Every structure is written in C-alpha cells, then in structure tokens.
Structure 1
Amino acid sequence: MPNLEASFRALRVLHTAKDLFNQYGFHKVGIDRIIAESKVTKATFYNHFHSKERLIEMCLTFQKDGLKEEVFSIIHSYRELMVFDKLRKIFYLHANLEGLYRLPFKAIF
C-alpha cells in the first residue's frame, strides 16, 4: 500500500496547488505554502514533482484532461439532445472562464 499512499499524497498536492493557483495566481503561491496546506513534507513534494514548474505543468494537464472528460460526457451522456444543443453545452463549457479554463488562462495571461 505504500504506492497508493504516495499517489494519494501526490494528488492532494496537485489539488491543493490547483486551488491555490486558481485563487492567487502562479506567481503569488510558493512551494512552501503548497507544502504546508497539503500537509506533506518537502521531500515528498520534490520526490513527486521535482519543481514548481513541473507541478504547474501537471496542474494544467489535469485541467486539460478534465475539460476533455467534460466534453466527452456532454457528447455521450445527453443522447436525447440534438447535436446543436450538445454544441451549445460545449460552447458554454468553454466560454465559462471561471470554470475549467480559469487555470490555463492564468498561465497564459
């Protein structure tokens, strides 16, 4: 079970960092704050992520995967909807800058 526990700690760091980055931005959140709020050791952090840049990259990948899953969910879950209505739902998903696109936009702008 050590691998499962390590994966859980890495996910906890990832979720904590994502929330902090969304709230304060990439430049205003340091590794020490992420470590403290994730309740992991510095060694654990560096063992999983190696650097803040790598953590940011993984957070963005996590968000991108979430967006993909949401689009696939709209396509496959709403079988009763017409194609136009599905496209509208997908558009609104992408137009909501406070949703899953918030973190990628913070990285760009």
Structure 2
Amino acid sequence: MEKTREEIREGMKQAAPLQLKVYVMPHCFNCDYAVEIAETVRRYYPHVAVQVIDLSDPQQPRPETVFATPTYLLNGCVWSLGNPSQQQIEKTFGRSVEHNAAGDAADA
C-alpha cells in the first residue's frame, strides 16, 4: 500500500523536526514582513521550530550562506533569499489547518 502525501509529511514531521531560521536586519526594507512570515509559520505549522535572528546583534553568528536579508535557512540550508511566497510555504510545510478548513468549507 502506497502512502499518501499527507502520511509522508506526517512521517517527516515525526522523523526530523524542521528548524527555520530567519535572518533579518533593522534597516532591511523587507525584514518587517519576514518577521510576520516567521510568526505565521510558527502559528500555523507548530511542527516547525522558528527563530528570528537579528544580525545587527554582534553576539549572533552569521553563517557563510547568509549574505543578504531576509534570508531563511531550513535545517541549515538556504530555503529562501528574500521572502517566500505562500505557495513555497505550503509546498514545504504543507497546507495550514486554517487553509484546509477554508477549503473544506468552500467544498461544502
């Protein structure tokens, strides 16, 4: 029996927790929106550990792969340079519970 996409996603959530690090700077034009995206991911995808890192803090190490802000690292790999689209978020983390509920209501 083949697993559904949802079953595969569930297995991934349990097998390897996802860690999303969002690198921002105070002078960055798009970083306020990056913080909003981080909060949205934190709220709708509780299986993702989200951390917003302000690179103006000299105590924060800067990975070599972070050369612009906002930059999103997913489990240590660059996931997005600049803010991701809603489609990219859903493709990576799955559809949110709220989005699924809205879709179910539309189908009724």
Computing the radius of gyration from Cα coordinates, the structure with the larger value is 1
TM-score, normalised on structure 1?
0.25
TM-score, normalised on structure 2?
0.25
The structure with the largest strand share of the pair is 2
